[in-house]
Amino acid sequence: MLSIRSVKSDSFIGKCVELRGWVYRKVSLGGKIFIVLRDSSDIIQCVVDESKVNSRTWSNAEKITRESSCIVRGVVKSDPRAPGGYELQVSDLEIVGLSEWFPIRGNEGVDYLLDHRHLWIRSRRLQAIMKIKHTVLEAGREYFNRNGWWEVTPPILTSSACESGATQFEVNYFGQKAYLSQSAQLYLEALIYTLDKVWSLTPSFRAEKSRTRRHLAEYWHLEAEAAWYGMEDMMKVVEELVYYMVERVLRDRMDELKFLKRDTRILENAKPPYPKITYDEAIEILQSKGVNIKWGDDLGADEERVLTEEFETPFFITHFPKEIKAFYMKLDPKNPRVVLGFDLLAPEGYGEIVGGSVREDSYDALLKRIIEMGLNPEEYKWYLDLRRYGSVPHSGFGLGIERTVMWIAGLDHIRDAIPFPRFRERIYP
């Protein structure tokens, strides 16, 4: 079966082809009907001339509606006036599924489009974004496979929190209390003792009350963990991975970037190494710009946006205060007030797309942090065991796929980086 993209070529001019797809647009003009057909690859204008087709084909062309599925047969022609420079002179049109009046006509509001997401997903905009996302995922998998990492499959149902317990989704697991995973990290740490370097791609769930342009309750999480890796080692992996994704999108998805009107200059300049600033330096920058913030405060979306104005490439922030970071992050031996942790922020106001750290490998130090954070050591007994039986220095990170796609594609809101967004007060469809 031929795709629309494949026949839009000089080598197909004058050849009779069969195409299958959906009606994107339809216009009647005199004795001709112009149907723009779409499939997953592209669109093409199909011209039905009443004087050149039989009555059945003409009747079908008159009857067919927007978003109807159909099979068209005809001869490929070159025409600079047609979308993409080629069109199909139709000889036969077969309706497969006649669409009712399509409820999306243009200029609908966000809530209406979310209510009809199962239909809005057909839009060329979302199609372009999903193709970019496919390439981001493909590039991530390819990077790890080429560099000696093992893909693993951690559980989605967990017995304890990885991050804040207040942001967990609780579920009834055969009469026991369980949670939807916030992160695969703790399980990845267990797997480094047998595979050294591991990674996974799983859904993660956060029950945060936040509803901003970059928050989702369910998102896809690309996570990695490696034995013997220090912070600098893992930051190097992060910048290599992110640039590998960017490079692949620029190579394979330029048509989609152009369709989305993405300014690619920032992406083209996103080559490692990336700049690094400490949390201390970030606070100084923010205060110099009049932001009301003090040392020890967490960096939110507004603060991150201000910081991104200072850089034209992704950049790292390192050495955060221990109070605002997770219990598993190793304290800096040179300054125990801060952790050996890092975030990677995307420029242009997009903010954090990766978070990582060195993990605490000492049993006593980890137990102390668990207690300090008000957590129950019994719930982390298995995790503490990893420090009792051959503990090693190790580090890891998590990359938010949708936030990364949001930046690469230049999107205004994260909801368009996932087919069916889940966030506060919305779960339809």
* Strands, E assignment, 30-185: 32-38, 43-49, 69-78, 86-97, 150-151, 157-158, 170-173, 176-180
Residue 106 within a domain: no
Q: By three-state DSSP, how is residue 228 classified?
A: coil
Q: What is the CATH number of the domain that holds 16?
A: 2.40.50.140
**Taking residues 5-20, what's their average pLDDT?**
97
How sure is the predictor about 281, in pLDDT bands with cuts at 50, 70 and 90?
A: very high
**Taking residues 348-373, what's their average pLDDT?**
97
- Together in a domain, 237 and 295: yes
Task: Using alpha carbons only, give the angle 136, 141, 146 rounded to the nearest 5 degrees.
Answer: 125
How sure is the predictor about 20, in pLDDT bands with cuts at 50, 70 and 90?
A: very high
Residue 112 within a domain: no
Q: In the chain, how many domains are there?
A: 2
Residue 382 within a domain: yes
The one-letter amino acid code at 340 reads L
How sure is the predictor about 209, in pLDDT bands with cuts at 50, 70 and 90?
A: confident
Q: At which of 38, 68, 97 does a domain end? A: 97
How far does the chain reach from its first CA to its final CA, in angstroms?
32
Chain Cα centroid distance, residue 341? 23
- Together in a domain, 219 and 327: yes
Q: Could you give the C-alpha distances from 337 to 297, 340, 381, 391, in angstroms and in order? A: 13, 10, 26, 23
According to DSSP, the β-strands at 341-346 and 351-359 are antiparallel
Q: Which domain holds residue 287?
A: 117-417
Query: Is the Cα dihedral 391, 328, 203, 181 positive or negative?
Result: positive
- Together in a domain, 34 and 158: no
pLDDT at 163: 65
- Together in a domain, 154 and 272: yes
- Together in a domain, 232 and 349: yes
Residue 429 within a domain: no
**Taking residues 168-182, what's their average pLDDT?**
92
State yes or no: pLDDT of 403 exceeds 60: yes
State yes or no: pLDDT of 161 exceeds 70: no
- Together in a domain, 59 and 184: no
Residue 306 within a domain: yes
Q: By three-state DSSP, how is residue 399 classified?
A: strand
How sure is the predictor about 274, in pLDDT bands with cuts at 50, 70 and 90?
A: very high
Q: At which of 97, 132, 147 does a domain end? A: 97
State yes or no: pLDDT of 165 exceeds 60: no
Q: At which of 68, 97, 126 does a domain end? A: 97
β-bridge partners, 215 = none
- Cα–Cα distance, 238 to 140 (Å, whole number): 11
pLDDT at 168: 87
- Together in a domain, 35 and 133: no
Residue 295 within a domain: yes
- Together in a domain, 132 and 80: no
**CB distance 17 to 76 below 8 Å:** yes
- Together in a domain, 157 and 11: no
pLDDT in tens, 220-263: 999 999 999 999 999 999 999 999 999 999 999 999 999 999 99
pLDDT at 208: 79
Residue 76 within a domain: yes
State yes or no: pLDDT of 67 exceeds 70: yes
- Together in a domain, 361 and 257: yes
pLDDT at 167: 79
- Together in a domain, 289 and 380: yes
**CB distance 41 to 66 below 8 Å:** no
Question: Nearest Cα to 164, choosing from 210, 226, 203?
Answer: 210
pLDDT in tens, 284-330: 999 999 999 999 999 999 999 999 999 999 999 999 999 999 999 99
- Together in a domain, 162 and 222: yes
